Structure 1
Amino acid sequence: MTGQVDFDSHNTAMVQGAADLVNLATPGLSRTRPYQPPPGAELAERTNAALRAADRHATALDDAQATRLAALAPGLRAVFEHLAAEEQDRAVEAANALLADLRPFPVLERHRDEPWHLYFRSTRGDEASDWAARLALGLATALGSRFAARLGLCSAPACDRVYVDVSRNGTRRFCSTACQNRVKSAAHRARAQGD
């Protein structure tokens, strides 16, 4: 990741995990198509895949836990939406509401012979809430840094998925390469028709 923004390796993974959960678990538009979160077992399977991408040691959530974690996604989404609307104070309020609800506390953990890592757990005491606490705290840490403007909503028409910009120059404004290419192609066609 040379030249890319790194909140710190674990926190970057938590911020991306929050974005992945929002994109997976909130309805809306995705690349010009209506999007609905997947049901039950598929939601759990895809949530677990997103969590493993954020932390390879993630404990798998069962269907009920994945559903509870997915219920947090609208609160996480609010942070991205407020930032996209340049309402940082409201984004902070949304993050603070999540933190007040989850009340994360730090613990040191390690897996096998790896070094100790700082993790966060929720006072609720279940795996879904622990994950919710980590993701909310990741967003809060990004909000409290100079990188808050690197979180937002996709700029492509008919897409409301969120993104995390870890590029060197901070110019990412799309949830995916597909949306970026769609916008570039439309702009190219518009220029060609204008000639």
Structure 2
Amino acid sequence: MFDSHMALLLDAAAALVNALTDGGSHGRPYRAPRGADLPAAVAAALPEPSRPAGPIARADADYLAREALRMRAVFEAVDEERYDDAAEALNGMLRGTGARPQLDRAPGEPWQVHFHGAEDSVGVGWSAGCATALALAVGSELAARLGVCRAPGCDRVYVDTSRNAARQFCSTACQSRVKAAAFRARRAGGRGRQKA
């Protein structure tokens, strides 16, 4: 499956897409934060252990919001098995960020491969890392692990880390909502047959 660093970057990609792109969420319309609310939304979407220490600059937040739209297109293309479109979008992101592998080490930690951009701003760095992780997934047998929620009224994305690769929903809330609706439909259908 995914190693811990790749999993962190894929989770960050999904979290940025879900936080920073409009659409549907859990059966309700979702409007992504804009303006002054955007830096806090970016900070909340980035994973805790790797989140920047200080506040997110507005320019970085704006950059990541634009990149989240491109990452959404990747998730949607993979979900629809349009792998050529996903690869083309990712190649554009990798070129745009100047992503390059580099070994880094935090004090007391082992060396890890990170994928910084040519410009090491927070926005470019995270975008380069997320694009690289998505590219590694799309370029492997793990591509089908990227998905878009199947629940009505929800288009949030996810990374399937289940053992059997059977995930279809962004959250247990959406899964429960779909199961409850199916149960109510079966129950209503059973009552209709009894009256006949």
Q: Same fold, TM exceeding 0.5?
A: yes
Please name the residue that 2:106 is paired with: 111
**In structure 1, how many angstroms separate the alpha carbons of the residues matched to 2:62 and 2:140?**
30
**In structure 2, how many angstroms separate the alpha carbons of the residues matched to 1:22 and 1:191?**
34
State the shift of 1:50 in Å: 2.3
Aligned to 2:50, what secondary structure does the other structure show?
coil
Q: Which moved more, 1:167-176 or 1:85-94?
A: 85-94
Please name the residue that 1:3 is paired with: none
Larger radius of gyration: 2
State the shift of 1:165 in Å: 0.5
Which residues in structure 2 correspond to 1:43-82 (within 5 Å)? 43-53=38-48, 56-59=49-52, 60=54, 61-82=56-77
Gaps of 5+ in 2: 191-196
* Aligned residue-pair number: 188
The one of 3, 9, 18 equivalent to 1:14 is: 9
Aligned to 2:147, what secondary structure does the other structure show?
strand
Contact 1:75 1:94 in 2 (8 A): yes
**RMSD of equivalent CA atoms:** 1.4
The one of 150, 153, 156 equivalent to 1:155 is: 150
What is the TM-score when the length of structure 2 is the normalising length?
A: 0.90
**In structure 1, how many angstroms separate the alpha carbons of the residues matched to 2:50 and 2:119?**
21
Please name the residue that 1:164 is paired with: 159
**In structure 1, how many angstroms separate the alpha carbons of the residues matched to 2:2 and 2:86?**
18
Gaps of 5+ in 1: 1-5
What is the TM-score when the length of structure 1 is the normalising length?
A: 0.91
Contact 1:121 1:130 in 2 (8 A): yes
**In structure 2, how many angstroms separate the alpha carbons of the residues matched to 1:115 and 1:50?**
25
Aligned to 1:173, what secondary structure does the other structure show?
coil
State the shift of 1:96 in Å: 1.3
**In structure 2, how many angstroms separate the alpha carbons of the residues matched to 1:121 and 1:102?**
8
Q: Does residue 155 of structure 2 align to residue 139 of structure 1?
A: no
Residue 58 of structure 1 aligns with an amino acid whose one-letter code is: R
State the shift of 1:34 in Å: 1.3
Residue 46 of structure 2 aligns with an amino acid whose one-letter code is: L
